[in-house]
Chains A and B, each alone.
Chain A
Amino acid sequence: MLVVRDLVKVYPGPVAALQSVALDIENGMFGLLGPNGAGKSTLMKILAGLLEPTSGTITLDGVDVLADPRSLAMRLGYLPQEFGFYPHLSGEDMLAFLLRLKGVHAPSGLMKLARELLARVNLADAAKRKVKGYSGGMRQRLGIAQALAGDPRLIIVDEPTAGLDPEERQRFYRLLAELASERIVLLSTHIVEDVAILCPRFAVIRKGRIVAQTSPSAALETLKGRIAEGRPAAGEIDALRSRYVVTQSLPFEGHARMRIYCPDGAPPSGFATTQATLEDAYFLMMHRADDAKSGAADAGTAAA
C-alpha cells in the first residue's frame, strides 16, 4: 500500500506546488486527475524519488521511501511525462542498458529479456534499430517497456498515452489493467476518460491540493439525475452560467451545446436531464474547490 501524508512542496517564489497532500493507494490502478499545473507531475516526481519534498511522508508497504529512496527505486517502474534515450543506441541495447541499471535479471539473459519486453510493446521489429530513428509513439512504447521491467511493485505512469495512436493506447491500457491486479499502478493524466475506463479509484488535484479522492462510480452516483443538456440561444448563456455550474459548453452546429449541473434535479427550459459522465463530476469538483477557496477568502474578508 502506498501511503502519502502531509506532503508539501514549496518552490522558490514561494510557490506551493503541493499542499498537505494525503493519499492511500492500494493494489490496482489509481488515477490522478488534474489540470495542467495542478501539481500532478510534482507529485509523480516525488513519488518516483526524483524530487525532494519540503515536508511529509511517503511509505510503500510500510517502508519510508523518502528516507530510503533506493528501496523504492528497486520496486518502481516509472514512465515520466517527458523523457528520452541515447539516440545512437538500438532500442534493444537501450533497454538492456536500463535493465542493468535497474538490477533486473532473467533466466534467459538480459538481451533476450529486452527483446521479449520490446515484443510486448510491439517493437520487436525495431529492436535492432537506433532510437534516433524511432517515431514519437515508438519512443513512448520503449519508455513503457522499461517501466515494466523488473516486475515492479509500483508503476507510475505520467501522461503515458501522449503520442500513442488509439490502437496502441488501448493495448497499453489493457496491459496496465492486467498488471494492476498484483501491484499499484498510479496513472497521472488530464484525460478524464482514461481514468473512467481504467481506475477503480482516483484523486483530483487542484492547485496542489487533493480536492477529491473517490471512485468513478461514486462520483457518478452523486450526479445521478442532476446533469442536464441543452442548446440555449446565445443570449441565454450568460444567465445560465450565473445560475448553474456549467460542465461543458461547446459550439455545435451554430448553437452552444451545454451541460449543466442542476442541484435540485430540475433542468431549466430547453434542457433535459441526461446521463452524467466522469468529466461532469471532474468539472464539478474543480468548481467546488474554487468555491471553497473563494468562500474561505470571503469568510476571511468578512471576519476582517
Chain B
Amino acid sequence: MNARRLVTVASAEAAFQWKRPLFWVAFVLLFATSFLLSTGSLSIGAGDVAVGGKKAWITSAFASTQLFALVWSLFLGLFLAIAGGMSPIRDRELDVDPLLYSSPLTPAEYVFGKYLGVVVPYLLLLIAHVAFTAAVCHLPSVDAELRGPFVLAHWAGSLLPFGVPLLLFFCGASFWLGARSGRPILVFFVPLAFVMLCVMFVWDWHPVWLDARLSAALGWLDPAGVRWLRETYLAVDRGVEFYNTRPVELDAVFLASRIAIGAFGIGLVGAAVSAIRADARGRVQRSVSPTTAVRDDGRARDATSGTREGLADLGMRSRAPGFVATTFAIARVEFHELLRSPGLYLFTPLIVLQTVSSAQFGSEWLGMTSLVTAGGFAASSFNTVTLLVCLLALFYVTESLERDLSTRLHAIAFATPVRTAALLTGKCLANSFVGAVVVVVAALTGLALMAYEGKLPLDASPFVLVYGLLLAPTLLLFTAFTAMVHSVSGNRYVTYGVGLGALIVTGMAQQTGHMNWVFNWHLWGAVNWSDISVFELDRSALIQNRVLVLLVAVLLVQVAVRFHMRRQRDGIRTLWRLRPASLLRGSLAFLPSMVPIVGVGTALALDIHDGHGGEPARDAAKDYWRQNVATWLDSPTPRVANVDLRVDLFPAERRAHVAGSYALRGQDPPLRRFCVTIGPHYRDVTMRLDPPPLRMDEKKLLYAFELERPLGPDDTCTLTFEHDATLPDGISKNGGSMGEFIVPSGVVLTAFGPTFVPMLGFMPGLGVDDENSTEPKVFPDDHWLGQVEPAFGVARPFDAHCVVTCPEDFTANFVGDLVADTTVDGRRSMEWSARGIRLFNLVAGRWAVTRGDGVAIHHDPRHTVNIATMTGALEAARRHFSEWFAPFPWTELRLSEFPGLSSYAQGFPTNITFSEDIGFLGDDDERGSMGFMVTAHEAAHQWWGNMLTPGEGPGGDVLSEGMAHTSTMLLIDHVRGEFFRRKFFLGIEDSYARGHVADAERSLAKVDGSKSGDTTILYDKGGMVGWMTERLLGRERFLAACRAFIARFKDGPDFPLIEDYVSVLREHAPDPIAFDAFAKQWYFEVVRPQFTVTDVRSRTQDDGTTRVEAVVTNTGTGTVTVDVAVTAGGDAFDDRGERRPEYRDSRTRVTLAAGANETVTIDCSFEPETVVVDPDANVLMLQRKNAIWRF
C-alpha cells in the first residue's frame, strides 16, 4: 500500500466531506444536543428534584457518557452511512471507478483512503462535540445546581470507549455495504434498522428470566455501548450522589468488546477492499466472459442489405396507452427489480423480528407474558410495523423514482406518451406491494406464534382489520407523500430528509399531546384492540380518519403528478407561474381533491371539538374546579346510609338511564350545606333533596345544597336523582384507552367518580391538569395516632339495592347478591342487594359463566383458555384468605371480564372486574401464571381494601396493594409451590430494582403514590417486605397478626396506616427486639441490600467432602440475615415446579450490616458449582446477579 496515494485519496475524500451539507447538518444536530444538555433537558433519570433534593449534574461522567453514547448511536449512524456507504456507490454512479481502477491506485489504497477520508472528519466532529458540550455545560449561565466541577476525564472518557468503536464500526459497515451491494437503499436502511433494533430490543430487553450471562453478552455486542451502561450502572438507580461523583468504570470484558467492535469495523473495510477488487475484475470480465456477457453474434445479415422490410410489415399501431395497463406494466417491472433487491430479504426478517419483539416484550409483566392473540399482536405491533413500513416505503419509493435517473432510462421513458400518473402510480403500487408483503409476513409470524403456543384458535381477521383497513391507508399515504416530495424536490436527500422529518415531527406531536384524529395520519397510539369490542370506541373517528388519509393520498398523488420532473422546467417560466394569479389558477386543478379533504377534515375536527376530549368538555371540567375549589374542597358531606338505584343500560346507544336515591345521615358537627358532583356527560339531570333545602344552586357540574336545618348525626335526608349518562360522550381527541364506558359489547361503571351516579362532595381531581395541579396533601408524622379517614369509599359501610335492566343477551353484575333475575320484552332485569359495602360498581356484558365453589367467572365465551386456572385461583383465594385473614362476608365472589379498552383489574366487594388482556389471556408456563397471579391479587383486595380499608395518608396504600401482593405470594406458595413463589418474588424484585428512584424513594410508612417510582414501592416492595415479615414471624404468627389487624380496624371509624399494622405485628412477634430492628429498617427507613460473593476457594477434605470458603459482602444498605448456599446440579426445580433430584445444596446463614463482609465456610459432599446468596429468594436485594459465584 502506497502511503502517498492513500493520503491523497483520504485528503480528497475528507475535503469532499467537509464541504457536504450533510456534515454540517450532523454538526448542527450534535451541537444542538449540547445545548439541550446545558439546559438540563437531558440528564440522568435519578434524583428527587421535586422535593428540592440534590440534582443530577449535567457535567458528571455518567451524564456525558449517556448523552454521547445515545446521541452518537442515534444520529451518527445515518450520517456515517451516507458519508461512508455512498462513497463507493457515488463513484460507481459517476463512472469514476473505471478511471480509478485503471490507475496505479490499488483497491486497498482506494478503500482505506476513502474510509480514512470519512473517519477523520467525523472523528474531529466527535472531538469538537465533546469539547463544545463540556464548554457549554460549564458556562456560568448554566444552573449552578446542575453544574459539577470540571473533570477532563468525565468528558474525554466517552470518546475512546464509546465514540471511536462506534465510528469505526458504522463507517466500516456502511462502506462494506456500499461497496458490496452498490445499493443506496441498503446503506440508508441498515443504520436505521440498527438504531431501531437497539432502541426497541437491545437496549431495553431485560426479562426477569433472561440469563445474566446472555444479558451481559448483549451489552458487549451493542456497538453503542448503551446496554452495558444501562445494565451496569443505570437500570438500578444508584442515587444522585453516585452519578454525580463517580467515574464510569469500564470492566476489562467491555473494553475488549469495544476494541473488537472497532476492529470488526476495520475488518469490514478490508472486506470492502475485496468487493471493490472483485468489482474491478468484474468490469473487465463482463466484456469478455461468456458467462456474464452476451455474445454479439448477430452478424448474419450483410451490412449493406439494410432492413428486410422496413417497418410497415410489422403492422405497428400507436394509440394513447391506457392508464391501468401502463400502471400495471410499470408495477410489474418495478416489482421484478424489487425482487432482486437483497435489502428486501434483509429487511423483511428484521421487521418481523422488530414486530415480534414489540408485540411480545411489551406484554411482559413480572417475567410473565400474555398469550399471543391475533388482534393483540396486530395492535401492539401496529406502531412498530407502521414506522418500519413507512421507512421502507420512503427508501424504496425514493430509490425507485431515482432508478430511472440512475439507469438513464428516463431519457427514453419520459419521452413516451405514458401518463405521469401511471408512471408514479405503478412505482408506488409496486413498492406498496412490498410493504404489504412485509405486513403479511408479520401477520403470518403472529399466527405462527399463536400456532406454536397452541392455546388459542387461529384467527386472521384481526390482522385484516388492523393491518389491512388501518395500516394500508397509512402506507398508501406515505408512499404518495414520498412520491410527492421527490417530484417537487427532484432530490433523493431532500426526500429522505422531509420523509424522516415528517415521521419525527408527527411522532413528537404525538409524544407531547398535540396530536388529534385529523392529523394522526399514522394512528400512532390510537389503536386499541379488544376481541370483545372491535373498535367500538371512536369507531366513527377511525373511519373518518382513514377516509381523510386516503383522500389526502389522492391529492398528494395529484401534486406529485403535477410537479414530477418528467419535463425539466424552465426557470423563467416557473417564476412566471409563481405569480399569484397563476398560482391560483394552478391550485384550482387541485380543488376537486381538496374539497372532500376539507369537508371530512372539518367534520372530524368538529366531532373532536364536541367530544369528551374537546375544548368545551375540558373547559367545563376546569370551570368546575375553578368555581368550586375554594368553597368546597375538603368540605364535609353527609354519610351515605343506603343506596337505591335503577340503571337501565342501552349499550347499543352507549347510554344509561339512571334513577336513584341516597339515604343520607348528618355529621357531627351538623352540616349546614353540602354539594354533589355530577358527570359532564349527564343529560336531563333532575336532582331533589327531601326535606327540601333552603337553597339549591346548580353550578357547573355541581349542585350545592344549603340546608334549612343543620343535618346532625341523627338527622336524615334523601337525595333523589335521575339522568341520562352517555359514556363516552362523543369521540376522543386522539384515541387511546378508556377505563369506564358503555359500548355495544360491554359496560364498566364504578362509583370512584361520577361516571354513572352523582358523587357526594367536591371531586378535587376533576378539571385538574398541569396548569392547576397542586402538591399532594402533607400529613403530620403523628397523623396515624388520630382518627384517620378511609383512603377510599366511605367510613361507614352502607347497604345498596340496585335494579339493572339490560338487553336480554347481557348479564349485569353489581356488588352484593342477586335477588331476582327476570326477562320481559327482550330486556333482562337483575335485582341486586348488597350489605356492608363502601364502594360499588356495575359491569355488564355478553358472557359465559363458569362457577366454582362460591365463586363465578363471567367471561367472553371465546376466552376460555385460563378459566380453569382463574377459577381455581379464585376458589383458593376465597377459601385460604378466609382461613388466613377473615371469613368472606358475602355469598359469592364474582369475577367479570370487560373489553380491553383499558388494561386494569379492580376488586370491588364481591364484584371483581378484569379487562380481557389481564389474566384471561395471560400465559401459564414455567415463568408463572398471569391468570393465577392477578386473580389472587384482586381477590386479596376483598380483604385488603374492602374488608380492611386503609386509612388516608402516607403508607395507607401499602396495606391494600402491598398486602395484596404478599397475600398472592402466600397463595402461590401454598397452592402452586415454592418454585412459582420464587418466580413471583424475583419478578417483583426486578420490577422494584428497575422502577424505584433511589433519591425519591420513601419508606413504606411514608410513600403516598405521588412521586415517580412510588408505584413499585407500594406494590412490589410492600409485597416483598410482607413476605419477609412472614419469614421473620413464621407463618402462623404472621397470619394471626393479619387476622387480629383486620378484626381491629375493619369497621372503623379509625382506619389504619402502616404504624397501626406494625404495632399489631409486633404483638405477634416471637422476638420483639429483633422485630423492631426489622420493622425500623424495612417499614420506616429505606434500605437496599446488595451482595457480592468474592474470594471463593474450595478444597477437598480428607473425608472426601469439599470445603468452600467465600467472602460475602453487603455492598448495599441495611442489616440483613441471609442464607448462603453452595449448590450443584443446576436449578433446584424443573419447568413444572418439581424439585430436581440432581440438585443439591449446602448452606449457612450470615447477618451482614451495610458494607460488612464475612467469610463463610460451607462443607458439601458434592462438587460445588455455585455459591449463591439467598438461594430461596426470601430477601429483597438489588443486583441479585452479583450475588452468585460460578465455579
Contacts and interface: CB of A to CB of B under 8 A. Distances in A.
B417 A123 contact: no
Contact of A54 (B286, B292, B409, B573): B573
* B411, B412, B417, B418 pick with most chain A CB within 10 angstroms: B412
A105 B294 contact: no
Given A70-B417, A102-B418, A122 B299 contact: yes
Interface stretch (B121-129, B563-571, B690-698, B746-754): B563-571
Given A82-B411, A175-B307, A107 B318 contact: no
B1084 to A, nearest CB: 74
Contacts of B415: 48-50, 73, 76, 78, 80
A105 B299 contact: no
A59 to B, nearest CB: 18
Contacts of A148: 311
B337 A88 contact: yes
Interface in A1-25: 9-12
Interface string A35-52: 000000000010011111
Interface stretch (A129-137, A191-199, A258-266, A268-276): A129-137
A123 B286 CA distance: 18
Interface string A163-178: 0001110110011001
Interface stretch (B320-328, B651-659, B1069-1077): B320-328
B310 A178 contact: yes
B572 A74 contact: no
B319 A50 contact: no
Interface string B559-581: 00000001111111100000000
Given A52-B567, A120-B307, A143-B412, A137 B320 contact: no
B314 A133 contact: no
Interface stretch (A149-157, A215-223, A229-237, A244-252): A149-157
A69 B567 contact: yes
B213 interface: no
A229 B330 CA distance: 58
A50 B417 contact: no
B407 A86 contact: yes
* B316, B566, B570 pick with most chain A CB within 10 angstroms: B316
A241 interface: no
A253 interface: no
Chain A interface size band reads 35 or more
B292 A103 contact: no
A53 interface: yes
Given A50-B567, A133-B294, A174 B316 contact: no
A175 B311 CA distance: 9
B411 A85 contact: no
B293 interface: yes
* Binding site secondary structure of chain A: mixed
A106 to B, nearest CB: 5
Given A73-B417, A133-B294, A175 B306 contact: yes
Nearest to A172: B306
Nearest to A75: B318
B1153 interface: no
* Binding site secondary structure of chain B: loop
Contact of B310 (A70, A74, A124, A179): A179
A122 B301 contact: yes
Contacts of A149: 316
A138 B294 contact: yes
A103 B107 CA distance: 46
A113 B314 contact: yes
* A85, A133, A152, A166 pick with most chain B CB within 10 angstroms: A133
A151 B295 CA distance: 29
* B304, B310, B337, B569 pick with most chain A CB within 10 angstroms: B310
B320 A123 contact: no
B325 A100 contact: yes
Interface string A76-99: 101110111111110001000110
Given A78-B412, A133-B292, A135-B294, A179 B311 contact: yes
A135 B411 contact: no
Contacts of A108: 315
A79 B409 CA distance: 11
Nearest to A143: B412
Contact of B572 (A54, A133, A168): A54
Contacts of A103: 318-322, 326, 416-418
A101 interface: yes
Nearest to A118: B298
Interface residues of B, number: 59
Contacts of B403: 86
Nearest to A147: B412
Interface in B695-712: none
A116 interface: yes
B297 A101 contact: no
Contacts of B418: 101-103
Contacts of B303: 166-168, 170-171
A52 B298 CA distance: 39
A129 B412 contact: no
* B292, B409, B417, B572 pick with most chain A CB within 10 angstroms: B417
A88 B318 contact: no
A86 B318 contact: no
Interface string B248-287: 0000000000000000000000000000000000000011
Contacts of B305: 171
B413 interface: yes
Contacts of B294: 126, 129-130, 133-135, 138
A80 B296 contact: no
Contacts of A238: none
B311 A104 contact: no
Contacts of A48: 415
Contacts of B319: 74, 103, 105
B567 A84 contact: no
Given A80-B412, A151-B311, A178-B307, A126 B296 contact: yes
Nearest to B420: A70
B336 interface: yes
Contact of B316 (A70, A105, A135, A179): A105
A189 interface: no
Contact of A73 (B295, B304, B416): B416
Given A9-B570, A106-B316, A125 B297 contact: yes
* A54, A88, A97, A174 pick with most chain B CB within 10 angstroms: A97
Given A12-B571, A125-B297, A174-B307, A85 B407 contact: yes
B777 interface: no
A212 B408 CA distance: 32
B4 interface: no
A133 B573 CA distance: 42
B409 A50 contact: no
Interface string B395-419: 0000000010001110111111111
A117 interface: yes
Nearest to B329: A100
A146 interface: yes
Given A70-B417, A170-B303, A170-B304, 20 more contacts: A50-B414, A50-B568, A52-B570, A74-B318, A74-B320, A83-B411, A101-B413, A102-B418, A103-B326, A105-B316, A106-B315, A122-B301, A126-B298, A137-B296, A138-B296, A150-B316, A151-B318, A171-B306, A174-B306, A178-B306
10 contacts: A52-B569, A79-B412, A101-B329, A106-B315, A135-B287, A138-B294, A151-B311, A170-B303, A171-B306, A178-B310
- Which 5 residue pairs spanning A and B have beta carbons closest together? A103-B321, A174-B306, A84-B408, A73-B417, A80-B411
Interface of B: 286-287, 292-301, 303-308, 310-312, 314-322, 325-326, 329-330, 333, 336-337, 340, 403, 407-409, 411-419, 566-573
Interface of A: 9-12, 45, 48-54, 69-70, 73-76, 78-80, 82-89, 93, 97-98, 100-108, 113, 116-117, 120, 122-126, 129-130, 132-135, 137-138, 143, 146, 148-152, 166-168, 170-171, 174-175, 178-179
